[in-house]
Structure 1
Amino acid sequence: MLYLIFVTIIWSFSFSFIGVYISGQVDTWFAVVMRVLLAFITFLPFLRFRNIKLKTLFLLMGVGACQLGIMYFFYYNSFQYISVPEVLLFTIFTPIYVTVIYDLLQRHPLRLSYLFTAIIAVIGAAIIRYDHISANFIIGFLLIQGANIVFALGQVGYKRIMEIYPMPQHQAFAWVYFGAVIVATVGWLLFGDASKLPTTILQWSIIIWLGVVASGICYFLWNFGATKVDSGTLAIMNNVVIPTGILVNVVIWHQSLDWLRFILGSVVIVLALLLHYKVKNRSLS
């Protein structure tokens, strides 16, 4: 749980960094390929070929392709159509995707109690940010939902892989990032715009920070933390970044905020997490 909380705090800055300094100024595919490449380089010393089944290797690469490569394409492009707060708003559906996908992968009936608490978390997030929606919200919404689905598929898939094929996770994540690099590189070669490379030290610094810290270290910690909690907790924690991300956007970039909605929504999300634990403990007793 502590891993997920720590990563949430770090990721809270990523939304504003991308929305303010990267989106529309730096080519999307270049930003994606640099981010995952730096993450891969960070974990390159842990890349191992021995004692890893070929099937496991490809599954891990598939996780990276979904959770990082494809997800970032949807995610970065969404900032061209919607604002940072709207991006945060539209991520509220991730908990539902996490819950549903995990149950599907386990091939057992959907646990309605997990889905119920995830929906409560969605309501809490909606309270925070459901106000003005821009004219391009449909495109932005669809892009974010694409990002949400592949992000959920990646983290849940990783959790299942570690349950079925346990291995040192720092070694596993080297292959996850390698899969992301392959997808992002192909995307850059096919669709990249070489005329829109970073032009300032600040942009390069943000890309390096996003690659090494927000992706390289934090995605590892997030997926590592995902293996330590149940799918219900994981689903709800996906929405905690919404109030923290908005708070960063308000405090540092001085965006306006309805504090009443912010507090009420945050309380609802916390209550969803507490309710989930209560339901979980009752089912175990």
Structure 2
Amino acid sequence: MPLLLLVSILWALSFSLTAHVSALGAPFVTAARSVLAALVFLPFLNTKGLGPRRALAFAGIGALQFGLMYLLYITSFRWLRPSEVALFTIFTPIFVTLADDLLARRWSWRILLTAAITVLGTGICVWTDLRRAGLIRGFLVMQAANACFALGQVLYRRLAPLSGKRDRDLMGLLYLGAAAVAVGSAAPGLSWTRVSAMTLHQGLVLLYLGVVASGLGFFLFNAGARRSDMGTLAIFNNLKIPLAILAAGLVFREVVDWSRLMTGGLVIACAFGWNAVIGARS
């Protein structure tokens, strides 16, 4: 749980920062972020005894969870504001629970209820007026991104313990898979004119997103997912959102509806309590 909490704090800054580089194009931003993350973890890569099929499996997980997910995530900014992108990520806990149930061929209604309570609490924090052109398209793109991220973390949580490897041994493979998808997508339509016009501010944002938010963040999140129960994992998929609102109010002095934030936070706290109860009973 401490690892997931740390990542939630790191990611609380990412929604607004991503908007500053979305003009560079989803393929380029995804490629830059993935390559930077891969460079951070390639020195730790250790595939000894892993076997080619399992190594490819982990690269495939990275391609799905980080590469394809981030392509869809950045693309959604064509139709959505940063606050709306944050809002539409709230359904990820549902996807996490359903993906785990599908792979296990079971129906965990208690964990699904935990995820639903989390979605409700987060929705209270960030819900806004949704009557705007292009919103449905952006919503659907974000749900595809949510599904990719959810399935990737569930697959990693299942396969990583079977590999006999530490998380840092494997993350290079995941980021290589993500980079392959991202670079392959960016190469055909790469606009060097747009990239060469990148400002210093955009470069620093890309560096943060690639090294910290992606490199360190995804590593710690998957490590935390490997050590957490499904209910806790579902809740932490959304905790970054109220934390982002809290940071906006306390750090950046933005206008925040504190009553909604407190109400939503209490509902999320109830999800933690419910998850603790069902965990004690199981």
Give the TM bin, normalised by the shorter chain: over 0.9
Match of 2:34 in 1: 36
Match of 2:234 in 1: 235
Conservation of the 8 A alpha-carbon contact between 2:60 and 2:174 = yes
1:77-92 to 2 correspondences below 5 Å:
77-92=75-90
Match of 2:276 in 1: 277
User: Residue 135 and residue 249 in structure 1: after superposition, are their counterparts in 2 closer, same or farther (change >3 A)?
Assistant: farther
Measure the CA separation in 1 of the matches of 2:192 and 2:120. 41
Structure 1 residue 61: deviation in Å?
0.5
Deviations 1:110-169 (A, max 9, x none): 110000111011111111122212332111111110110000011111101113333121
Q: Does 1:126 align with 2:123?
A: yes
Q: Does 1:110 align with 2:107?
A: yes
Structure 1 residue 266: deviation in Å?
1.3
Partner SS, residue 13 of structure 2: helix
Deviations 1:236-258 (A, max 9, x none): 11010111122334455554332
Provide TM-score, normalisation by structure 1: 0.94
Deviates more, 1:114-123 or 1:237-246: 237-246
Match of 2:185 in 1: 187
Measure the CA separation in 2 of the matches of 1:27 and 1:104. 34
Deviations 1:62-103 (A, max 9, x none): 111011110111111112211111111111110010011012
Provide TM-score, normalisation by structure 2: 0.95
Measure the CA separation in 2 of the matches of 1:106 and 1:194. 46
Measure the CA separation in 2 of the matches of 1:255 and 1:194. 35
Q: Does 1:14 align with 2:11?
A: no
Match of 1:70 in 2: 68
- The one-letter amino acid of 1:18's match is T
Structure 1 residue 207: deviation in Å?
0.5
Identical residues among aligned pairs (%): 38
Conservation of the 8 A alpha-carbon contact between 2:118 and 2:235 = yes
Conservation of the 8 A alpha-carbon contact between 2:87 and 2:127 = yes
Match of 1:216 in 2: 215
Measure the CA separation in 1 of the matches of 2:140 and 2:190. 21
Conservation of the 8 A alpha-carbon contact between 1:85 and 1:246 = no
Conservation of the 8 A alpha-carbon contact between 2:22 and 2:29 = no
Gaps of 5+ in 2: none
Measure the CA separation in 2 of the matches of 1:177 and 1:85. 27
RMSD (CA atoms) = 1.5
Conservation of the 8 A alpha-carbon contact between 1:64 and 1:178 = yes
Conservation of the 8 A alpha-carbon contact between 2:86 and 2:241 = yes
Conservation of the 8 A alpha-carbon contact between 1:88 and 1:246 = no
Deviations 1:13-69 (A, max 9, x none): 0111112x1122x12211111101010000111123421111211111011101111
1:135-214 to 2 correspondences below 5 Å:
135-197=133-195, 199-214=198-213
Match of 1:266 in 2: 265
Match of 1:3 in 2: 3
* Number of aligned residues: 280
Measure the CA separation in 2 of the matches of 1:193 and 1:110. 47
Structure 1 residue 177: deviation in Å?
0.5
Measure the CA separation in 1 of the matches of 2:184 and 2:32. 13
- The one-letter amino acid of 1:100's match is L
Conservation of the 8 A alpha-carbon contact between 1:88 and 1:245 = no
Deviations 1:184-217 (A, max 9, x none): 0100113433332152111111101111111111
Structure 1 residue 280: deviation in Å?
1.1
Deviates more, 1:250-259 or 1:167-176: 250-259
Measure the CA separation in 1 of the matches of 2:78 and 2:280. 43
Partner SS, residue 238 of structure 2: helix
